[in-house]
Structure 1
Amino acid sequence: MTETTPYDADRALFTREALARLVLCDHAADVADGAAGLVATGNDPDSGPGGRVSQAFQLIELAERALVSAVTYERERGSSWAEIGQYLGIGPAEAEERFAADLDGWRGAFDVPYRLDDTGRTRVPQLPTAAYDPAFACSRLDTWARNRLILVDDEHPVSSGLTMATPET
Structure 2
Amino acid sequence: MTETPAAPETPRVLSPRDEARVRFALQAERISDEALDLLPIDPAAPRGGRLRRALALKELTDTLINRAVIAEREEGTTWAQLADAAGITKQAAHERWARAVTAWARTGRTVYPPDSAYTALEAARRLDRVHADRHPDHPQDAVSSGLDAVRFPGAVAAEAARRERAAALYARIEPLDARLARLSDEWRLLTEGGARPEARAAVLTSQAALEEETAALYEELTAAEPELADEHRESAERARSNAAADREYAELLAAKAQAGTEAGPVSAAPPAGGDTAEEGSR
Tell me if TM exceeds 0.5: yes
Tell me whether 133-142 or 95-104 shows the greater mean CA deviation: 133-142
Match of 1:10, as an amino acid?
R
Q: 2:191: which partner in 1?
A: none
Looking at both structures, which has the greater relative contact order when contacts are Cα pairs under 8 Å and sequence separation is at least 6?
Answer: 1
- How many Å apart are 1:46 and its aligned residue? 5.8
1:71 is matched with which residue: 64, 69, 72? Answer: 69
CA contact (8 A) 1:81 1:96 kept: yes
1:1-169 matches, within 5 Å, as 9-11=11-13, 14-41=14-41, 44-45=42-43, 47-110=45-108, 127-129=110-112, 133-152=119-138, 154-164=139-149, 166-168=155-157
Q: Hey, what's the Cα distance between the residues in 1 that align with 2:60 and 2:113?
A: 15
- How many Å apart are 1:150 and its aligned residue? 4.9
- How many Å apart are 1:52 and its aligned residue? 1.4
Match of 1:141, as an amino acid?
L
Q: What 5-or-longer segments of structure 2 have no aligned partner? A: 1-10, 159-282
Superimposed CA distance per residue, residues 82-134 of structure 1 (whole angstroms, 9 cap, x where no aligned partner): 110112121112111211111111111118xxxxxxxxxxxxxxx54499731
Q: 2:226: which partner in 1?
A: none
Q: Hey, what's the Cα distance between the residues in 2 that align with 1:130 and 1:70?
A: 20
Higher Rg of the two aligned structures:
2
SS in 1 for 2:82: helix
| Change in 2 beyond 3 A, CA 1:157/1:163 | same
Q: What 5-or-longer segments of structure 1 have no aligned partner? A: 1-8, 112-126
Q: Hey, what's the Cα distance between the residues in 1 that align with 2:86 and 2:113?
A: 25
- How many Å apart are 1:77 and its aligned residue? 0.4
| Change in 2 beyond 3 A, CA 1:161/1:130 | farther
- How many Å apart are 1:40 and its aligned residue? 2.7
Q: Hey, what's the Cα distance between the residues in 2 that align with 1:130 and 1:73?
A: 18
- How many Å apart are 1:162 and its aligned residue? 1.3
- How many Å apart are 1:149 and its aligned residue? 2.8
Query: How many percent of aligned residue pairs carry the same amino acid?
Result: 28
Q: 1:116: which partner in 2?
A: none
Q: Hey, what's the Cα distance between the residues in 2 that align with 1:136 and 1:47?
A: 38
CA contact (8 A) 1:21 1:73 kept: yes
Q: How many residues align?
A: 141
TM-score by length of 1: 0.74
TM-score by length of 2: 0.46
SS in 2 for 1:79: coil
Match of 2:56, as an amino acid?
Q
CA contact (8 A) 1:141 1:158 kept: yes
Q: Hey, what's the Cα distance between the residues in 1 that align with 2:29 and 2:86?
A: 21
**Structure (1/2) with the larger helix percentage:** 2
